[in-house]
Amino acid sequence: MSAVAATAPGRSVSAIASASASSAAASRPARREAFAPVERGGFVEVAPIGFADFAARWIETYARPNTKASTCRDYEGSIRNHLVPYFGNVELRHITREMVQRYLADKARSQKADGTPTWTPKTINGTLVPLREMLSHAVDWGYLESSPAAMVKPLRREPTERRSSRPTSSRSSSPPRRVSTRCSLGWRRSSGCAGASFSG
């Protein structure tokens, strides 16, 4: 079997090339029309995408190739355990700054059965990091005009949480009294040091 026949039975290479050229020429007007707004500096609308779908795309496209393995694991954990369960697959363009602030507040109000907080402010604020990164890239990639998380402030850490990282002081209100083992000069040698006197 010849190379021509193996490429396309019954057709020559020149015929295939001619057909391809004709097809490309026919598609040029449509391609020019599609890219005309870009060439004129206009805005090209990107198809809407849900939060969970974009999160998966962001992990594959940005986080894994561009961050440390440990950082990427932290991002994935925050997305899987906190962000996606809360935001679901709501369209990115429908997420507002108020929704992001409410996410932090709802997390802070969550409690265990014994009444203690489910998460510390430090943990909750940690999930805000990949959320900001994601939505910032959504702007860069054309899915959003602005990031709803850009101006959201993290939770204020509780005073007890801040104090827990500080060493406690063991100082007492008054200095310890010193014990003197020196004998009084007025004692007779025979009496010796019968006891210790306290000074201070």
Q: Where are the domains of the chain?
A: 51-157
Q: 1.10.40.30, 2.40.170.20, 3.90.580.10, 1.10.150.130: which CATH number matches 51-157?
A: 1.10.150.130
47 pLDDT more than 50: yes
Please give the pLDDT value at position 154: 93
Q: Virtual CA dihedral for 80, 86, 92, 96, nearest 10 degrees?
A: -140
Closest among 161, 160, 150 to 122, alpha carbons compared: 161
Higher pLDDT, 182 or 107: 107
Please give the pLDDT value at position 95: 97
**Average pLDDT score over residue span 86-106:** 97
At 143-200, the pLDDT tens digits run 999 999 999 999 987 655 555 555 555 454 555 555 444 444 443 444 444 444 444 4
Measured CA to CA in angstroms, residue 120 lies from 32, 71, 86, 117, 158 at distances of 54, 20, 17, 7, 9
At 1-44, the pLDDT tens digits run 544 444 444 555 455 445 545 555 555 555 555 455 445 555 55
74 pLDDT more than 70: yes
Query: Rounded mean pLDDT of the chain?
Result: 76
**Average pLDDT score over residue span 56-66:** 97
